[in-house]
Amino acid sequence: MATPPNLTVSSRIPEIDYLRCVLILLMVAFHLVYINETYPLAHQWVYTFHMPGFMLISGFLSHPGKDWKKLSRKLLWVFIPYLCMEAGYVVMARLLPIREHLAELTPLMLLDKLLLHPMGPYWYLHTWMLCLLAQHVVSRLPVGLFTKFIVLGLLLGGLDACNLLSFNMAMYFLAGWVVAESGLRLTQLFRPSWVALLPLAVLSADIDNLHRGTLGGVCITYFSLCFLLFTCQVCPQSVKRVACFVGRNTLPILLFSPVFTFLSRLYQPWLLFEPTGMLFLVVSVALAVAGSIGMAWLMDRIHVSPWFFGKERAVQ
């Protein structure tokens, strides 16, 4: 959801920020329990490509050439907010009657959720940190690039066997690294085209393809990104600017949006006079995005960000 690459605004790739915006909005939308349960097929379809898309972008932007000191700092300032928000999520899962409700919570269980098996959307940061660390180790091996890809795949498979991450998801990270090492721009491999909608529709009609680990799921991810890049080309500049701003700030949205999806239960009954749930969806996603970025902005203003994000400004 939210790869935290150390890029300045001027060095960012607008198409990637646009993709990240769309993918993070889909993540927030389908973490709303009412929308999730009302539209289960749409949930299954979106989950086929939206988190794989994030992991692929993460691998593409991973830059394994950093030295250990820079990597350690990068991981530290993702791990600290991850630890704080995952701990809060686990406690709320014990106290509130949510879908992931915990019947009990012991110190050992809390450590398990924090270090091994995270709950909620924070699994993405857990997987991203493990993939980045594994990639950094493999990239230092005195072997050819193709062999490094194979070794990383085997290492990620071992982490999956230990139940520390999903191999299907981690392979998208590896695929992103392969694309980056090929020297291609993302839009050279994922060609923006409205025609991508046609095979996407055909593939999506078969429910067996709606899984990120199948060949059909890989193809759905590919054609989804191609079509989204096409919409990036044709959307108005004003919309694109807003989308890129959201895309630059996916980390705060990933971290803080569960606060607002929890709160959405309070006003949900008041918005269900609209029978499709779309009004509830739009209001809740807008509040979650604005509220999450607003919380990060407030942390910037009161100078908490250096202690939480490791930098003066969390909002880019």
CA distance 257 to 285: 9
- Please state the pTM of the whole predicted model: 0.92
**232 close to 192: Cβ distance less than 8 angstroms:** yes
CA distance 311 to 300: 9
CA distance 228 to 194: 9
Spans of all domains in the chain: 9-308
Phi–psi pair at 117, nearest 5 degrees: -130, 75
pLDDT tens digits, the chain, 316 residues: what are they? 444 444 444 467 899 999 999 999 999 999 998 999 999 999 999 999 999 999 999 999 998 877 888 899 999 999 999 999 999 999 988 887 777 778 888 899 999 999 999 988 999 999 999 999 999 999 999 999 999 999 999 999 999 999 999 999 999 999 999 999 998 888 899 999 999 999 999 999 999 999 999 999 999 999 999 999 999 999 999 999 999 999 999 999 999 999 999 999 999 999 989 999 999 999 999 999 999 999 999 999 999 999 999 999 999 8
CA distance 44 to 259: 23
Residues 6+ apart with CB under 8 A from 198: none
